[in-house]
Structure 1
Amino acid sequence: MRKWGPLTAVCLGTFMLLLDVTIVVVAVPDMAPALDASLSDVQWVIDGYALALAALLLGIGAAADVVGRRRVQVAGTAVFALASLGCGLATSAEFLVAARAVQGLGAAAMFATTLPLLGAAYQGKDRSVALGVWGAVSGGAAALGPIVGGLLTAGPGWRWIFFVNLPVSVAAIWLTLRLLPPSRPGVRGAGGRRVDWAGTAMFALFVGAVTYGVVRAGAVGWGSAATAVTFAVAALALSAFVAVERRVAHPLLDLRLLREPAFTGVLVGAIGTNMAAFGLMPYLSIWLQTVLGMSAVRGSLALVPLAGLSFVVAAVSGRLLHGVSARYVIGVGLLLIGAGGCALATLDADSSWPALIPGLSVTGVGAGLVSPGLAGAALAAVPPANAGTAGGAVNTCRQLGYALGVAVFGTVLTSRMADALGQDAAHTAAGGGAGALRGAFSEHSVRAAFASGLNGASLMAGVTGLVAGVAVLVMVRAKRTGGAGQAPAAPSGAPGTAAAGERVGA
């Protein structure tokens, strides 16, 4: 237990925080009416967590190097636990959204410190084993989220998808304090290293404004003044972020890395992967439960082809494809994700859950190919000194891709449904209130409209995956021998190396 105790402590926290990215997907149809939540509320319950995680990951990773990684890990877990309690006790959609954002803050502190803690606890072959286990746990958590959420929602109720985090958090804190040695603060700050808080704030404002603009555009229109102002704020925040990063001594993101086409291509692939593969899941779950009338458990099981194949393929592809260029593994995987999205765009008013199997299966295989190789490809594309930034940037882009996918596909879904049902009814149906429309519309009309909306969103997901796949194939070129399977391990002191263990052959 002493030898593998640190791995157990880190994996327990990682599993919990990544499970919460997708665990709410199946609970939305029960959650929305209980809190009188609108479509935008539903989107923010999902996106608030993912956005906080994406926006703060790099900044908190750098801060952990200054103040101590174990200290940040424990503090993040405590914040996560308290926010989870708030989520479970929420009496309004607004309170739940706020609590989810705080939960994402705690998750970012946990996630940013996981790989540096493992790097400090293990060396040599033990480190390789630890990173491999961590990578498998990370992939399994996202895949199991909807299933665990369905079981808890159908059993004790949707609030327990948050309450269950409390005992797990206590166990994670106890194991961390007992089994992980305290990290020495200021390891990289002895030379005057400072946390780039200005860059962190500008990046958080940028991703928040972009996502808010997309979510609100579905309700107020893409050409409205409110949408234009929001996107203008996002553009100014991005400009300010670039200006800050060029001037500070220790930038959050070394912008010179973006001049490397291979690194930029991997970041495009990271955004495209989570956007195309997982951004549609909340709306598929709403369709299964509120339109087809399936229970939360049956609705979650209908998504098993995606979750199950993603997990299995990720587990075996590292060994079967060892030595194969990450360019081809990731590029082909994204093309499969795109093909799966296009295959989902074939629904009609008479479709039922089996119609999802082909598309979800192809998407699951593609996601299983892509996930293990993304971080390794990013690390291979940059000098070893930038390994921490590379790993953190990939993880940030993956969470950002998921948040944007939920926002963009929700807008596409409602705009297609509005053609048949009207704007208000479309937002009601997309937010999980399809049952309330059956007095004003026939069941066939609601089913046809929702199917049309899902087809539009699925097609956009498919195009996203295909474009990202082509970008990876064109931009990513191996600079050193060995491909993704031989990517160097992130240094133990690197901030934000949350994805460094996800590599082919781990």
Structure 2
Amino acid sequence: MNATVLATRLLTERPRPRGIAGWPHAHWLAVGTVCLGAFLGQLDASVIALVFPALGRHFDASFAAVEWVALAYLLVLVALLAPIGWLSDLVGRKTMYIGGFAVFGLSSLGAGFAGGLWALVGCRAVQAVGAAMMQANSVALVARGVPEHAMRRALGIQASAQGLGLALGPSLGGLLVEHASWRWVFWVNVPIALFGILAGWFLLPRTRVAGAPAAVPGPRPASSAGRETGYNSGRAESRGTGTRRTGTREAARFDLPGLLLLTGATTSLLLALSTASGLPLPGWAVAALLLASAVLSLALVRQERRAARPILAPGLVNTPGVRSGLVVALIGYLLLFCPLVLGPVLLTGAGVSTAHAGLVITLLPAAFAFAATVGGGLLPRGWSDVTRCRCGALLAAGGLLLFALLPASDAAALPLLIAGYGLGLLLPANNALVMRAIPAQCSAVGGGMVNMARSLGTALGMALSVLGVHLAGAEDGGRTVLFVLAAVAAAAALLTRPARGARS
């Protein structure tokens, strides 16, 4: 079998078994498969914070150096979400999603065997490739695969899967580090990835039919009758009118300069924060990196305005309700991940064991998961998504403020519950607002931008936490960052705007 035939077979999407495809509620099985990827990605993201001290001792490395085990993952994720969202429209979202599980599982296996810190950082970068293959498709698969009236519920279920992964991460990480080894934090991903490959193969519908021209982000004709291109058999993945272009022509127009500028700008910013946090680079490097980040960001804006197929799609960003929604998404995940990094530092500094600290920190994402699924039902039924966003942001602000004021002990439990519940109201409602404001044919790119904002917020949350601890010490620096986070959460309530011209 030659390479061309093998590649064709690997990229050919198989339909679901007839019994599954014909079931009226089959789309919920596919949503469950998407949730498995969301769970795995967030489990891996939240478990890392509990491993930092163990990695520092094992590799005899500083906090700022160990931080790059997380930041390398996030940087690659941010850089690849938009282009992989674009590429998924060419080769098929099901193919890309299943491949993401495979890459993630293999790189997790390698990370557990890493013999040096920078080898581990490299494995984490490869992990991010797999995570990007899953995350770039997750929101689009959910948003396009369920009825309009069920979209908020489906996105809430997906957010709850993320919250469950976040919730289990700290407690699982604390137990594994204290009773086994930091290596098991990565090995635990392997069986989940294997299950995800099987679930994706049998439960996800085809998103591209063999022999059809490669689709690209943009208007497309509806699929022919009986073709399985959505969660419901025979339902078109996208609707509209327009023309198809081949993958070769579109690949030639891919915005490689934009991708490089985006990667350079984000890497420079995070390197500057890490240098200020104790990474052994010359003192002038912070100013130079900040300047480079600013220059590259300006160049990125200029490039995206003139690119034929921009990775950041300025037209979508300028759609009413989208820009503010992306900023709120970034803020939401910054608010979620800063306490996950700061919490163990504050609690262990007060004499709490690593395993116990992990259990306490678990309350934040656990409350997030509860609010994202059923907790919103406690609110008045007539509340709009905008009202839910504002209420959630204010609750998060109050919880973070309490966390900063109360002693660093088990008294942190109540503030974490309040903040987590608020974020669980804020983020699913905000994502629904953004996706409703984005045209249906641009859902993959739009979903990629939502995930990019989330990843940037996560990276900034980790970097700012380490910076605060380095500049002012664990106790004072951690509390100062929490005060700042409370103010940022209040600002998110003011930024939330209703989307004009959203899809009906």
CA contact (8 A) 1:409 1:460 kept: no
The 1-side partners of 2:417 and 2:214 are apart by: 47
The 2-side partners of 1:100 and 1:416 are apart by: 29
One-letter amino acid of the counterpart of residue 380, structure 1: R
The 1-side partners of 2:116 and 2:309 are apart by: 41
1:310 counterpart residue number: 368
| TM-aligned CA deviation for residue 368 of structure 1 | 1.4
The 1-side partners of 2:309 and 2:398 are apart by: 41
The 2-side partners of 1:47 and 1:390 are apart by: 23
CA contact (8 A) 2:140 2:447 kept: no
**Residue 300 of structure 1, aligned match among 358, 363, 367:** 358
| TM-aligned CA deviation for residue 394 of structure 1 | 2.0
2:271 counterpart residue number: 212
Distance 1:381 1:119, change over 3 A: closer
Asked if residue 187 in structure 1 is aligned to residue 215 in structure 2, the reply is yes
1:17 counterpart residue number: 41
1:102 counterpart residue number: 126
| TM-aligned CA deviation for residue 340 of structure 1 | 2.2
Q: Deviations over 1:180-225 (max 9, x none)?
A: 3443261227324334333222212222221111121233799942
The 1-side partners of 2:326 and 2:205 are apart by: 33
Q: Which deviates more from structure 2 when the two are superposed, residues 365-374 or residues 325-334?
A: 325-334
Distance 1:196 1:137, change over 3 A: same
Q: Which deviates more from structure 2 when the two are superposed, residues 297-306 or residues 8-17?
A: 8-17
Structure 1 length as normaliser, TM-score? 0.79
2:8 counterpart residue number: none
Q: Deviations over 1:255-312 (max 9, x none)?
A: 13343453222122111111123213223213323x2343332111111331222222
1:364 counterpart residue number: 420
The 1-side partners of 2:399 and 2:152 are apart by: 33
1:143 counterpart residue number: 167
CA contact (8 A) 1:56 1:108 kept: yes
CA contact (8 A) 1:17 1:107 kept: yes
| TM-aligned CA deviation for residue 95 of structure 1 | 1.8
Structure 2 length as normaliser, TM-score? 0.80
Distance 1:168 1:222, change over 3 A: closer
The 1-side partners of 2:477 and 2:144 are apart by: 49
2:15 counterpart residue number: none
| TM-aligned CA deviation for residue 127 of structure 1 | 7.9
One-letter amino acid of the counterpart of residue 333, structure 1: G
Q: Deviations over 1:105-134 (max 9, x none)?
A: 210011112344557776688988765543
Q: What SS is found at the alignment partner of 1:280?
A: helix
1:497 counterpart residue number: none
**Residue 301 of structure 2, aligned match among 242, 251, 254:** 242
The 2-side partners of 1:124 and 1:329 are apart by: 19
Asked if residue 60 in structure 1 is aligned to residue 84 in structure 2, the reply is yes
Asked if residue 134 in structure 1 is aligned to residue 155 in structure 2, the reply is no
Q: Deviations over 1:23-42 (max 9, x none)?
A: 11222222321122211123
The 2-side partners of 1:258 and 1:332 are apart by: 24
Percent of matched pairs sharing the same residue: 30
Distance 1:50 1:23, change over 3 A: same
1:461 counterpart residue number: 485
Q: What SS is found at the alignment partner of 1:294?
A: coil
**Residue 400 of structure 2, aligned match among 341, 344, 356:** 341
CA contact (8 A) 1:303 1:360 kept: yes
One-letter amino acid of the counterpart of residue 226, structure 1: A
**Residue 113 of structure 2, aligned match among 89, 98, 101:** 89
The 2-side partners of 1:14 and 1:377 are apart by: 20
The 2-side partners of 1:128 and 1:470 are apart by: 22
Q: What SS is found at the alignment partner of 2:278?
A: helix
| TM-aligned CA deviation for residue 74 of structure 1 | 2.8
Asked if residue 227 in structure 1 is aligned to residue 286 in structure 2, the reply is yes
**Residue 161 of structure 1, aligned match among 178, 185, 188:** 185
The 2-side partners of 1:43 and 1:34 are apart by: 14
Unaligned segments of structure 2, at least 5 residues: 1-18, 218-243
Distance 1:100 1:342, change over 3 A: same
Asked if residue 377 in structure 1 is aligned to residue 433 in structure 2, the reply is yes
- Where in structure 2 are the equivalents of 1:108-119 lying within 5 Å? 108-117=132-141
1:331 counterpart residue number: 390
CA contact (8 A) 2:81 2:132 kept: yes
Asked if residue 397 in structure 1 is aligned to residue 397 in structure 2, the reply is no
How well do the aligned residues superpose, as a CA RMSD in angstroms? 2.9
The 1-side partners of 2:146 and 2:401 are apart by: 43
1:479 counterpart residue number: 500
Q: Which deviates more from structure 2 when the two are superposed, residues 337-346 or residues 101-110?
A: 337-346
